[in-house]
Amino acid sequence: MAKSFVIPIRNVVITDSQAELVDRLVRSGRFATASAVVREGLALLERREAMPVDERMLPQGALPQAATGAPVSEPADLRESTPGKFVASA
């Protein structure tokens, strides 16, 4: 006998811009349904939440540098738009 399972249905409220993003992703063919878009977003959030808090606080892509003890720097365009906020790495 095959096992069956029930997928819970949830109604959520999203902003107009979030709805536009979902629609655009479905229209592009990357996702078959709006539900698939939301599931992917939740999967990404679940992976982020599973990370230790100190890793979540690092800029994206900084973990390999941080693991080696190398200084972590921000991209040049961010340093230029916010002078004095970032220290360039040696």
Across the range 49-62, mean pLDDT stands at 74
Across the range 12-21, mean pLDDT stands at 96
If DSSP codes are grouped into helix, strand and coil, which group holds residue 50? helix
Taking the whole predicted model, whether its pTM rises above 0.75 is answered as no
Q: What is the pLDDT of residue 40?
A: 97
State how far the Cα of 74 lies from the Cα of 59, in Å rounded to an integer.
8
- For the cut 80, the answer to whether the pLDDT of residue 73 exceeds it is no
Strand boundaries in the chain, DSSP class E: none
- For the cut 90, the answer to whether the pLDDT of residue 65 exceeds it is no
Across the range 60-70, mean pLDDT stands at 59
Residue 9 domain-assigned (yes or no): no
Number of domains in the chain: 1
Contact 76, 83 (CB under 8 A): no
Residue 31 domain-assigned (yes or no): yes
Tokens of 81: 């738009």
